[in-house]
Amino acid sequence: MKQHYEVVIVGGGLAGLTLATLLAQSRHKASLGITLLDAAARPQILADDDISLRVSAIASGSVRLLESMGAWQLISESRLSAYESMRVWDEKDTPDGAAALRFDAAEFAVPQLGFIVENVVLQDALLRQLDTTNVALRFASPMRSLEQSGQQYKVELEGGECCVADLVVGADGARSFVRRAVAIETRSWPYAQTAFVTHLCPEREHKATAWQRFLRNGPLGILPLADGRVSVVWSTTPDLAKRALDASDATLGTMLTNASDSVLGELAAAGPRGAFPLAAQHAQRYVLPGIALIGDAAHAIHPLAGQGANLGLQDAAELAGVLDAALHQGLHPGDEPVLRRYERARKGANATMLHFMTGLNRLFATDSRLVAELRSAGMRIFNRSGPIRERAVKVALGVR
């Protein structure tokens, strides 16, 4: 490990890898010494590996960003599942009812609304791009300590190796070590929900549609996979999530067929299972002199609209742009006024999305008949609202 880097990125999830790739391809790449550290082993995927548990809905705006870096083109088409429609409905309604929301790619004159992709496939594509750059990649290298040393930070790894950085970027997820080491506080809103995730075989074709049914305990998302299966993200009580984890295949199939109101007929268990406790969380600051937080380290939101990874990619793009402009003006990458430009551009937008998702989740998790009727009326109005509806969909797609 070199003794000094201009930028140390902690975390090789989607946000950290995207930032590293953008910086490594920027016009100042020759003068930027960059290392990316991750506590885990390098993620790998083989062509005939089964579709892995963790998949994300990647919006069109994020696809464009990944294309601009040459990473998207490295993904085999057999691992991409385009979704062309979305259906969102309340448990008291039907997916074809007047209060159900329906979005089709055709009405926005785009070939698809986005893609369902395995997280590990995206990581692998970004890493293969990074292999062609001068970014020093270090996996299985957890950070042990982070200390300020004058205008720089001293980074120490578990094995005792050290380096000094002008800028340390915390891309190390919701429980960010970097954020805690520099004492940036967060605000949290627990959801009292756990996301149960698995793949299922539907009786009927998924028709390249992403389905979302709002149930009283939380939303059930059903995402189309490339091989005809569906990935479900069932946000529900921790108790029900545990029961789903422990259920026999037959019982799990029945639980999810019922939860989905048989929208795709019978669902049969057909893949690994996992559970992720959910909470909304927002860092009170994204930057300090020599420090920046991106992705889930800065904000964690409900997966109901599939926005978390997309927001992390937007953070990475904004920070890379701000750093590129600053370096062009001869400024230091760790200067607080430079980093504040990034914070100003992203914090408000992320807060809006976070509060919107939290509010939406609450709105559907109520028993009140009055609220249910207002909600249903609101959805019908939204369906007919023309420009408002179009604007909301464009924000969700990441195309402005």
Binding site for ligand FAD (CB under 6 A): 10-16, 37-40, 56-57, 119, 142-143, 171-173, 177, 195, 197, 233, 276, 295-296, 303, 306-310, 312
Give the C-alpha separation, 14 to 124, whole Å. Answer: 10
| Smallest distance from ligand FAD to CB 79, Å | 15
What is the widest separation between alpha-carbon atoms in the chain? 63
| Smallest distance from ligand FAD to CB 169, Å | 11
Q: Which is nearer to ligand FAD, 233 or 240 (CB)?
A: 233
Contacts of 397 (CB under 8 A, 6+ apart): 59, 60, 61, 108, 110, 113, 114
| Smallest distance from ligand FAD to CB 168, Å | 11
Question: Of 104, 101, 105, nearest to 87 (Cα)?
Answer: 101
| Smallest distance from ligand FAD to CB 331, Å | 26
Q: Which is nearer to ligand FAD, 279 or 371 (CB)?
A: 279
Is residue 87 a contact partner of residue 3, using CB atoms and an 8 Å limit? no
Q: Which is nearer to ligand FAD, 9 or 326 (CB)?
A: 9
H or E element that contains 17: helix 14-24
| Smallest distance from ligand FAD to CB 68, Å | 18
Is residue 112 a contact partner of residue 106, using CB atoms and an 8 Å limit? no
Q: Which is nearer to ligand FAD, 292 or 372 (CB)?
A: 292
The secondary structure of 295-353 as a DSSP string is GGGTEE--GGGS-HHHHHHHHHHHHHHHHHHHHHTT--TT-HHHHHHHHHHHHHHHHHH
Q: Which is nearer to ligand FAD, 53 or 371 (CB)?
A: 53
